Every structure is written in C-alpha cells, then in structure tokens.
Structure 1
Amino acid sequence: MRAETSDKAEIVTQMLFGECYEVVAKDGNWMRVQLATDGYQGWIDHKQHNPVSVAYYQEWRAVQHPRAMDLVQVVTHNDTRIPIGIGSYLPFFDGMNIRVEADKMMYSSRASNPSAAATNAQLVKVAHNFIKAPYLWGGKSIFGIDCSGFTQQVFGVCGYQLPRDAYQQVSHGEEVHFVTQAQPGDLAYFSNDEGRIIHVGIVLEGQTIIHAHGEVRIDTLDHNGIYNADRKRYSHNLRIIKRITF
C-alpha cells in the first residue's frame, strides 16, 4: 500500500494474505483502500485488487481469525500453491481448510489460537521468529518489516490488535515507571529530540530488547535507551515503557 498513485511512491504499510479491506476512493488504475484490521489507508494498483462480497466482508470482520505461525508456508487451491508468511490471516480456518468466499484452500501447518490468551513467554517466542528479518519502511512481513510493523505482527499473532504506527501504539497498555521493572513482552517506546515517538520494540529478559533497526535484532536496554554494542553508541532515546495485559 503506497502513499500516492505510483509504483515509485513510498510504502506506507502492507497487506498480508487473508486480510480484508474496503475501497474508499479510485484514481485511474489505483484504488485507495482501508484495512479492516487497523483502519490504515493507502493506494494499491487495481491489478492487486481481489474483490469479495459485502456479506463475506461483514462475516470476516465479525470474528477473530487464526494467524499463520511458520515463517513461510503455502495454502493450496486446486493446483495453485500460494506462499504466505508468518502472521498471515487464515480466514475461517477449520484445522485443515481456510475459506475465501465459497472457495476452500488447504492449509496444513501451524496456526495461532485466537480464543486462547497468550502468555509473555509465547509472545517472546513469536518475536524471536523474526530475528534477522530485514528492515523495510512500511513493511510488516518476514521479508521486510519496520519497527511498528514488527510489534503489530507479534502482538497480532498472539491475539492483540495494535494500531499500525508507534505513536499510535503508545496509547495502549499501562505505564511501567522504571526500566528495571520491565518484563519480557512489555513495549518500549523511543522519541526524537522533539519528543515525538519514532521507534518501538519488545522488552526481553536481562534488560535487552528485540526491535527492527536495520534488521530485527537484540540490543541492550537501559534507562537512557537502546545501546548498540556493534556501533558502541546509543541508537534510540527511551521515552516510556508500556505493559499490555492479554
């Protein structure tokens, strides 16, 4: 999904397999769409448009769908194999098949259980699956992801829908007042010199943090911020830590 009606325009976010959206505007061969999951808007080429009925869209929005748990897997429809990545939606998954409109597609790998409350240990385990995923502005897949796309996907797989951007995500959860009181699974937010939230990551044990910065990586976290041992300097200034209860 792009900021403007051009293949050269900035990527603002991405859609994952199985995700639904509404078309809110059209401009030539481009459609402005709004994601049903987080309300984010952007432009897609009409060749990427896969329409569904209003009835299916409303049915899709009424339930919480399982998510793919493996880094890369496929769904099979007749003789077609469709590659999907971790965090992809599995609409109306029955343990063997997903359903898009009347079409059934086979999925035979691991899926999340949206009806079960996730633990911090499970959340941290999901986060580790993304290590070494390359950084991509606007990305939210294993093949390219930004800092808030990373946290959104990890929490989404665990059954909690965060907004898309870090400055939006910071409104969720309860404040943890000291970094020494942070627990694995807490969200740490970082600001620029003007005080604007520009970065987010997930706290791990031993005052470390996993975040997307060049790649999804683990660095040291203290009351000043994130310390990058490779570069021997702080890369981000800590603003606040929040805890989300599932």
Structure 2
Amino acid sequence: MTVGHVTTPLRAQPHDIGAPRQKELILGETFDMLEDDGTWAFGQCARDGYVGYVVRAALVEPTVTATHVIAARQSLLIDHPRIRNADEPLPLSFGTRVEVLESVDDFASVLIPFTFDDRDAHKTTTGGYLPLAHLRPLDQHEPDPVAVAERFLGTPYHWGGDSGFGIDCSGLVQAALIACGIACPRDSDQQITLGEAATGPTRRGDLIFWKGHVAMALDEQVMIHASAHRMAVVQEGIEAAAARIAAQGDGPIIARRRITPPRG
C-alpha cells in the first residue's frame, strides 16, 4: 500500500487517544499492510522496517510510479505553473514521493497518491505543480547529511515526527542519512550501532549520543539537533549542550559514531 495522506502517524496500538506515536509516514512511501480491520491497518514501513498501526483511510493502492522526492523542508503543490497563483496550495513535506510527468518552465507537473478525506477515499491520485528546485530524482542521493539536516533548522520539535512540519531528534538523523543513501533505523537506541566509534576530534557528520537523544556534529564545536529544550531544530555548542543535558539529569555523552557516506 501507499501512504495517501500528507503525513500520518504510526502508532503502537490501534487507538487515536492514548496510543503512543512511534513515528510518521510520509505521502507516497510504501507501507506493507499485514492486517486490515477496515479502520486500522497493521503493517511495516518499507523505509526502515518499523511496525505499527495506521489509520486505514490513509492508505491507497499504488497508482503512482514515484520518480522524485521532495528535498526541500516543505513545498507547496499548486494548480498552475506560475509564481503568482491564486490557488489554495497543498503543503507537502520533505520526503514526499511524487511522479514527475514533465517540466514546465521552473515547475514540474506531478502526480501524487492522495486520499482527499475519509469520505472520498476512493479518489487515489491528484496532480499539480511543484518547483523543480524542490525535487530530487529518487535514484540520486545527497552528498552531505549535515547539509540535509540544516534544511530543518527552525522546524518545530515534535515527538515521533518525521516531516518538515515537525520532527524529533532521531527522525532528523534518519531523514538526513537516508537522503544520502545510508540505511538508518528510526530510534536512537538503534542508531547508536551505525558506523564506527569516532576517535580523535569530533568531525562534521559525527553522531553524538546521550541516553535517549542524538545530535549531529557540524564541526568540532557545534552540533545540530531537534531539541525538546528549545522545541525546535537548532544549532548548539556541543560543550554547552552536554553541560545542560547533564545538569537536567539526563547523563553524559555516551557515544560518538562516525558514518562514511557511500561513494557514487
């Protein structure tokens, strides 16, 4: 199945209220449905193997052959390929998969798998235009995870969030690494096994771990992370952050991991 909502939460239990949000699924990505009771679907996210429950109405049969992914933090789907546009745009997130039909000046004509609302779930596609500058071919990877993470600066902190509308610490790291062709699990307790132990001075792209938290180094002194303290994706001095986190009772840095992006 394909995700047909802009974002939809993956939950630990099939309930809207009280069921923990594990992560988010993004429009256009694949969800391998294993069980379906008509209201909730249980299955596995193809991106990282995470299992859980999603609202069944958020899923559609695959009707779009994705060719590109939104590489900007957010984009706007519009009805006509022009800058001055009176249409009501549809906001879309980083990671949204679309099918590009053709380019028109600085825009791409696209199809997306989209359920308009629960009442019109039989409508499984819609089209429009996205800025070409916001798109990346699916078969091309980003060269620098840090540069990807920096696009999220200012994004609100959202526990279990994976999108340009709200994201958490491990979601930010996963988004940055996957965009660079590096397989990455969703949670920080699994991400701590990536790469190799970082030795010597901290380098750009090193992952810095606390118990239950992860950040990415910009350089030897500064890191970027989705901060529950600041409730946003921010840059922060590594020493200052470590002192603050220790002072609030969450312990010291427990690991640094170094990941080498694949070549080609």
Decide: shared fold, TM above 0.5.
Answer: yes
Question: Unpaired runs of 5+ in structure 1?
Answer: 192-197
Post-superposition CA distance 1:177-229 (Å, at most 9, x none)? 24x2x2111111222xxxxxx2111111241211112221222224x972349
Deviation at 1:6, TM superposition (A): 1.1
Pick the aligned partner of 2:210 from 151, 172, 190: 190
SS in 1 for 2:25: coil
Post-superposition CA distance 1:138-197 (Å, at most 9, x none)? 11112221111011112222332311111112222121124x2x2111111222xxxxxx
Change (3 A) 1:116 1:23: closer
Contact 2:142 2:179 in 1 (8 A): no
SS in 2 for 1:238: coil
SS in 2 for 1:237: coil
Pick the aligned partner of 1:85 from 84, 93, 109: 93
Change (3 A) 1:233 1:2: closer
Contact 2:32 2:46 in 1 (8 A): yes
Query: Residues 170-181 of structure 1: matches in 2 within 5 Å?
Result: 170-178=192-200, 180=201
Change (3 A) 1:116 1:2: closer
**Number of residue pairs the alignment of both structures matches:** 226
Contact 2:203 2:220 in 1 (8 A): no
The answer as to 2:16 corresponding to 1:2 is: no
Deviation at 1:131, TM superposition (A): 1.7
Counterpart for residue 226 of structure 1: 242
User: What is the aligned-residue identity percentage?
Assistant: 26
Post-superposition CA distance 1:61-98 (Å, at most 9, x none)? xxxx6431222213457999542112323357876344
Contact 2:157 2:166 in 1 (8 A): yes
Distance 2:12 2:184 in 1: 21
Amino acid at match of 1:167: D
SS in 2 for 1:127: helix
Distance 1:5 1:104 in 2: 28
TM-score (normalised: structure 2): 0.72
Question: Unpaired runs of 5+ in structure 2?
Answer: 1-9, 81-86, 114-123
Counterpart for residue 185 of structure 2: 163
Contact 1:188 1:242 in 2 (8 A): yes
Distance 2:251 2:61 in 1: 42
